[in-house]
Amino acid sequence: MNVTNIPNVRIQGIHLALPGYDQGPTLEIFQYQPQGEAVETSNISRQGFGHIAFVVDDVESVLDALIAHGGDRYGSVERKVYESIGVLTVVYAKDPEGNIIEIQNWE
């Protein structure tokens, strides 16, 4: 499994700074290759609003709390080192209404 729950996906993205903020939040725009059919309304690669992301202190604890309140894991918890940026720990999950949430932490 992977963080997006889409086999063999390649993602390219950009972060756009929002006016009035030096250190975030940002608007993040992703392009998925290959693009898939948006069969499921909560498919993370569908066009339009796909998910909302939160930076948290402990990804696993927040994921556990979300699941305990009726949410569900969407993909796997992944950890990746980005040179000169840091270490990203991230997971996608679904809230109780099926909306996709990205839970992340940067070290």
Segments making up each domain of the chain, as ranges? 10-106
pTM above 0.85, yes or no: no
Residue 12 or residue 56, greater confidence: 56
Cα(46)–Cα(16) distance, integer angstroms = 20
SS3 63: helix
How is residue 94 written in tokens?
């679904």
Mean pLDDT across the chain, nearest whole number?
83
- Is it the case that residue 39 has pLDDT exceeding 60? no
Place of tokens 């993909």: 75
Q: 30 pairs with which residues across the strands?
A: 13
CATH topology of domain 10-106: 2,3-Dihydroxybiphenyl 1,2-Dioxygenase; domain 1 (3.10.180)
Closest CA to 28 of 20, 39, 16: 16
- Is it the case that residue 56 has pLDDT exceeding 90? yes
